[in-house]
Amino acid sequence: MGSGMAKNLAIKSTKPVYIYDVNPQAIESLRKEFPQLKAAKSALEVAQATSTVITMLPGTEYVERVYEEIEETLEDKVWVDSSTIDTMAAQALAKRVESQGGWMLDAPVSGGVTGAQAGTLTFMVGAPNQEVFQRVSPVLYWMGKNVTYCGQNGTGQIAKVCNNMLLSIHMLGVSEAMLLGTKLGMDPNLLTSILNTSTGKCWSSEICNPYPGVIATAPASREYQGGFSNKLMAKDLRLAMKAASDVGFSPPLGTLSNKVYQTLDSDKEFNKLDFSSVFKVKIKEK
């Protein structure tokens, strides 16, 4: 995700773009394609060199580590965190950044690796106020097609966990529909075409269809490599279940989906595969 976002910044930004990744090969690969990108040796170096910092990280603890590294540089800076993290953690971090004289926005994304590469991501943004949101939104439009102000800090994370809970449910439904149809003798390409011109159409059927070969660009057509991993989906569903518990709500379908993806996360065969690989599990079920 971060790689695709950085590529679009390299193409569209009017100012120098500094990049950092704990994996040096990721930096090297990006700079081979976009030599105008400036390689930093740490998150601190990025923060020192820029007025706007953007992070895309696997979870809450990683974002908190970055804060600890860059906190003394945050005066008059904007920090946009596009990671999917705990809502209360996002709110607490925003307060800490404010105490340093800066502004933090939680701006998780939807659209997957394909959207990151194409610059068509959807950003769900929680910000201290509209003024700060307006200040940073042009940068987000370099990486995305839809940029929505959700409200105060934390509301971007609320929107994201709701979206990903629904996405997981959609993927389970599309997997079962594709498996049922093909077991009954339907051609998978024809069935996909019908679903995508009918009321069952959704992102999981049209863009990330789990049946191998029906969508050439989908992870299913490259043995479920790349894309949005089961590990990350399981993490997002844990966040959704925590948020639901915090308000005394037990979502039946979300709970079922969470159980499925926690099982995939605990399986070394599956945890790094795209979340559409749940289709492979459905095939094995009797």
> What is the Cα 189 distance to its own chain's centre?
28
Active-site residue, from 41, 77, 95, 160: 160
Task: State yes or no: is 160 an active-site residue.
Answer: yes
Place of tokens 């993290």: 85
Q: Are 182 and 174 contacting, i.e. CB atoms less than 8 angstroms apart?
A: no
Place of tokens 């910092």: 53
The rounded distance, in Å, linking the Cα atoms of 44 and 72 is 9
Q: Which tokens go with 164?
A: 């990903």
Could you give the residue numbers annotated as active site?
Answer: 160
